[in-house]
Chains A and B, each alone.
Chain A
Amino acid sequence: MTDAPRPVDQGALIARVQRAARARGQTRPAADAARLADYRARLAGAPELVLAADTAIELGSPRRRSAHAVLWTAAPGLVVDDRFVVVGPDLDAAGAADRGYAQLTLLEVAPGAVPDVARLEAQQFLTRHLPGLMARMLPGRLWLRASRAAVSAGLDFALLAAALRTACRAVAPVVCAVECVFGSGADDDVADFAALAAMERVFGPDPDSRAVAAAVRSMRGAVQSLFQLWDAGAPMVWYNIGFGSDLVYALEDVGPVPAAMLAALSSIAGEQADTEAFIDAAEAAGYSSECCSADKAGIGAILKGLYPEPACILGVNTPCDSQVSIVNAMAECRPHVPCFAVDVPPYQGERAHRYVAGQLRELIPFLERHTGRRFDWNRLRATCERTNRTSEHLWQWMEWRSAVPCMQPSKLCAFTMVIAIALGGSAWGEALARDLAADARAKAEGGARYFTEKVRAIWYQDTVWWDLQLYDWMESELGLVIPMDVFGYYANEGLIDTSSEESLLLGLARRMIDNHPMARQFRSTMDRYIGDYLVMHERFRADCGIFAGHVACKHAWGGLGLFQESLRRAGIPLLVFEFDMFDPRVAPRRELEFQLQRFVNDVVLPRKARGDLRRTP
């Protein structure tokens, strides 16, 4: 249960690199120590800085592809010491003076030894200590310049391999063998190694970067697409967060604008102060302070004129009173823009699905009329198929995240809510879901861990959007990991039957009612809210629950007593605290840390040590 972080043996990846290199390149011996010493002596006193005018060859400049990695294994005999493989011409060969560059350093370490990967990675750049060779370090890029004097003095990859071998052995005595792979030709020669080096990052010492980067990439892509449509004069559709974006994506060249978008973007990737300014602007304009801060921030952004002007407005009266408020606000702020409000009934089941599906059918001609875009059922079908693939990726992702210990950061749970609200039906949403699952799988299979897991909790309620690093603190300080949260959980009602027009609309309606974050949990009675928790608790093998009580979420607070009682009867510890998901002024991070620390250290860990927690047999 409490695995310590450990680097992962990369033998399988090394084998792939060797296969790719040896199939296309030449294997040669590295220079011996005498030749290396002779070269250094001949170039002694040469300037460290290699200026463009003195450059004989440039490798991996920003104009070209570049890749580098240090890979290690304890498997004996895999890495061939004192050898290197070069794909492409050597340094002294005539030809293009500006080439792509790949440099992969393969290491064998003593059995049972754990190498200091960070120190070894630093050696990749120490080639600058070969006189006449200058290495420039940029994120993800190794960029070398060799001077004319160096090439004249015999600088080649054999010398570079010898220098790397010496450097690695000097800093890590556990290194038994060093083999290098160089790619020095056209960009295509480097491309394969770039892909393999990227795989190294999945298994490497910073394993969370891939999934977090995927989330940022998808959000950035979606926003850039929106800007492109805006610049092109395409029609925009505003909608509140109770509405899924799928139907809007089904219209060609129409920009979906979730009204709360800037609350999330400014808190996650911009300035938190902006979110607070949006909230203050909405309250100053008379909107109720009791409204949800996501909606207040959205209203504030509208009041400040930060969104592209809408061709029409879509509203839905679910899941909460704040959603009704923001629909009213959008309509008030743009009184001459047509608004279509979908009414979601309080009851559950097929009758509710048909009622909403009927309204979605009415919505289609409304959208056609006001966006000027023709609705295409085949396009809707393709969008829904993409939504289905997204759901399937997310289900796989949940399977991986249910493993103990958890292999990915807790904060990733939050991004599935972003998929549902802003990216549902888009290529960006599908890519993010696929990358989350792929990253989880790679880490689970590779055994990568970067924190010691002591306690698993289901985070039940809203994300702390204003400081996602709180989750990193929870992992490192408390050993508390969140394998899944309430709004990241994807129930299996999510697939859309794409066989007919009617089934498409019914499927979308079902998703809006039964799958959409908050709509699923806060319509009708608390039965589903409580039932989902108990399912998640078992499925993700949690120790406890955390009710992160967003102050404006009156539905959740209203049912808290029933929820608490259910968990108490089930023998599940539950932490309850108040905060605001977009506004740290309600409860600052220090207060949340105090609450989490006390709960974990005083209740959960002692109970877990005594075997006094409900667990899956």
Chain B
Amino acid sequence: MITAGVDIGSTACKVVVLRDGAVVAAITGPSSFDPQRTAREIYDRALAAAGAAADEVRCVVGTGYGRARVPFAAVNVSELSCHARGAHHLVPSVRTVLDIGGQDVKALTVDANGNLVDFAMNDKCAAGTGRFLDVMARTLEIPVEDLGTLHARAGEACVIGNMCSVFAESEVLSLLNEGAPLPAIVKGLHLSLVSRVAALALRVGLEPDVVLTGGVARNAGVVDALAGRLGIALSRLPAGSDPQLVGALGAALVARDHVGATEGA
């Protein structure tokens, strides 16, 4: 049985295809002003990678902010439930999911069965999101992919008091002008970002195991800073799992459940 999940986020569109519960394709592409077209393109690429025809797919679930714009999705499910489902599938002992997306950050608590219990999120400003790091990397004139490496090289971190992207950018420019080392600035930015994430985590009641998902989870510097801030080790996703695809994976799993429930009924 083939099912698929399409996660249209603010900065990236992710598609995961499952065959009998195993991931056979996972494709990520940039979001555009036309979510419908983006979803179709990424989905077609994922089907090609899976070697599956569209009519073989039993169910497609759309999730993310653009989920209502996935015309071929049978069901729309919120990203909260899909992230909970995906993270629980990868790490069954997970109880807290922290997801740092392109333009929002969320903290989810899940029960032993992967059901969403509570959530808190910031989707009003860029503080604590991937967008914050994008803006800072541009200001520092470095690729965003290098932030993790620079973080590892830092000794003391610079203190960056502002979580707001606009004011933090001014602060970073001042630090550069004062001759602060680049790795220290990067580490300071990560500490600033995770302070926002940690606040959300505490709002829902931090309970181990804790998993970090979303594109920003690829940044080892953020993972290190967050673990330090929370005072606990974050659980690792299984080798080969992409933290950015957890929502799409969850959607594909929900699609599989949906087929099972429909056939069971």
Residues of chain A having any CB pair with chain B under 8 Å: 561, 564-565, 568, 573-574, 576, 578, 598, 601-603, 606-607, 610, 612
Residues of A near B117 (CB, < 8 A) are: 573, 603, 607, 612
Report the minimal beta-carbon distance from A592 to chain B, rounded to whole angstroms.
13
B80 touches A598 (CB 8 A): yes
Contacts of B80 in A (CB 8 A): 598, 602-603
B220 near A: Cβ within 8 Å? no
Task: Assess whether A573 is in contact with B118, with CB atoms less than 8 Å apart.
Answer: yes
**CB–CB B203/A606 < 8 A:** no
Smallest CB separation, A575 vs chain B (Å) = 10
Whether, in the assembled complex, B209 has its beta carbon less than 8 Å from a beta carbon of chain A, the answer is no
Total A-B residue pairs with C-beta atoms closer than 8 Å? 33
What 1/0 flags go to B85-128 for Cβ under 8 Å of A?
00000000000000000000000000100011111100010000
B204 touches A602 (CB 8 A): no
Min distance, Cβ B124 to any Cβ of chain A, angstroms: 8
Given contacts A564-B203, A598-B78, contact A603 B116 (CB under 8 A): yes
Report the Cα distance A568→B202, complex, angstroms. Answer: 11
Once the chains bind, are B115 and A602 in contact (CB under 8 Å)?
Answer: no
Please classify the interface of chain B as helix (H, G, I), strand (E, B), loop, or mixed, using the class held by over half of its residues. Answer: mixed
A598 contact set on B, CB distance < 8 A? 78, 80
User: How many residues of chain B have a CB within 8 Å of chain A?
Assistant: 14
> Nearest-CB distance from B117 to chain A (Å)?
7
B residues with CB within 8 A of A? 78, 80-81, 111, 115-120, 124, 203-205
- Residues in chain B near residue A606, CB distance under 8 A: 81, 115-116
Q: Which 6 A-B pairs have the closest CB atoms?
A: A602-B78, A602-B80, A568-B205, A602-B81, A602-B116, A598-B78
Complex alpha-carbon distance, A300 and B205, angstroms: 42
B15 shortest CB reach to chain A, Å: 22
Least CB distance, A269 to chain B, in whole angstroms: 32
Q: Known pairs A603-B116, A612-B117. 14 more at Cβ < 8 A?
A: A561-B203, A565-B205, A568-B204, A578-B124, A598-B78, A598-B80, A601-B78, A602-B78, A602-B81, A603-B117, A606-B81, A606-B115, A607-B117, A612-B115
Of A565, A603, A606, chain B has the most CB atoms within 10 Å of the CB of A603
- Residue ID in chain B nearest A568 by CB atoms: B205
CB distance from B40 to the nearest CB of A (A): 25
Are the CB atoms of A568 and B115 closer together than 8 Å? no
> Contact: B111 with A603, CB < 8 Å?
no
Out of B111, B203, B204, which one reaches A612, CB within 8 Å?
A: B111
Identity of the chain A residue whose Cβ is nearest the Cβ of B81 in the assembled complex: A602
Nearest chain A CB to B261 CB, angstrom units: 13
6 contacts between A and B (CB under 8 A): A573-B118, A576-B120, A598-B80, A603-B117, A603-B118, A612-B111
Enumerate chain B residues within 8 angstroms of A576, measured Cβ to Cβ. 120
Residues of B within 8 A of A564 (CB): 203
Residues of chain A lying within 8 A (CB to CB) of residue B120 = 576
Query: Which residues in B have their C-beta under 8 angstroms from that of A610?
Result: 115
Q: Within the assembled complex, what's the spacing in Å between the Cα atoms of A612 and B111?
A: 10
In the bound complex, do residue B203 and residue A602 qualify as a contact, i.e. CB atoms below 8 Å apart?
no
- B222 CB to closest chain A CB, in angstroms? 24
Q: How far is the CA of A77 from the CA of B111 in the complex (A)?
A: 58
Among B111, B116, B124, B203: residue with most chain A CB under 10 A: B203
Complex CA gap A601/B76 in Å reads 12
* Cα separation A561 to B203 with both chains bound (whole Å): 7
By a CB distance below 8 angstroms, the chain B residues around A607 are 115, 117
Question: Contact between A603 and B205 (Cβ–Cβ < 8 Å)?
Answer: no
Residues of A with C-beta under 8 A to B116: 602-603, 606
- A558, chain B: closest CB distance, angstroms: 15
Contact A568 B78 (CB under 8 A): no
Would you call B119 and A603 a contact (CB within 8 A)? yes
Contacts of A565 in B (CB 8 A): 205
Q: Report Cα–Cα, A612/B110, bound state, in Å.
A: 12
Query: CA of A568 to CA of B116 in the docked complex: distance in angstroms?
Result: 14
The chain B residue with its CB closest to the CB of A567 is: B118
Chain B residue nearest to A565 (CB atoms) is B205
Cα distance, A575 to B80, chains bound together (Å) = 14
* Chain A residue, CB-CB nearest to B202: A561
A-side contacts of B81, CB under 8 Å: 602, 606
A529 to B204, CA, bound (A): 20
A366 to B235, CA, bound (A): 69
Minimum C-beta distance from A518 to chain B (A): 24
In the complex, what distance in Å separates the CA atom of A602 from the CA atom of B106?
Answer: 14
Closest to A569 in B: B205
Contacts of B78 in A (CB 8 A): 598, 601-602
A568–B118 touching, CB < 8 Å: yes
Chain B min CB distance to A49 (Å)? 53
Nearest Cβ in chain B — how far from A501, in angstroms? 50
Say how far B120's CB is from chain A's closest CB, in angstroms: 7
Candidates B111, B119, B124; contact of A602 at CB < 8 Å: B119
CA A564 to CA B119, docked complex, whole Å? 12
- CB of A590 to closest CB in B, whole Å: 14
CB nearest neighbor in B for A571: B117
* A603 to B115 Cα, complex, angstroms: 9
Residue from B80, B117, B120, B205 having most chain A Cβ neighbours under 10 A: B117
* A578, closest chain B residue (CB): B124
State the CA gap A603–B117 with chains docked (Å): 6
Closest A residue to B124 using CB positions: A578
Chain A residues closer than 8 Å to B124, beta-carbon distance? 578
Please, how many angstroms separate the alpha-carbon atoms of A565 and B206 in the complex?
A: 11
* Complex: A574 Cα to B78 Cα, angstroms: 18
Min CB–CB distance B59 → chain A (angstroms)? 19
Q: How far is the CA of A190 from the CA of B116 in the complex (A)?
A: 60
How long is the Cα–Cα vector from A610 to B124 in the complex, in angstroms?
A: 31
Q: How far is the CB of A591 from chain B (nearest CB, A)?
A: 9
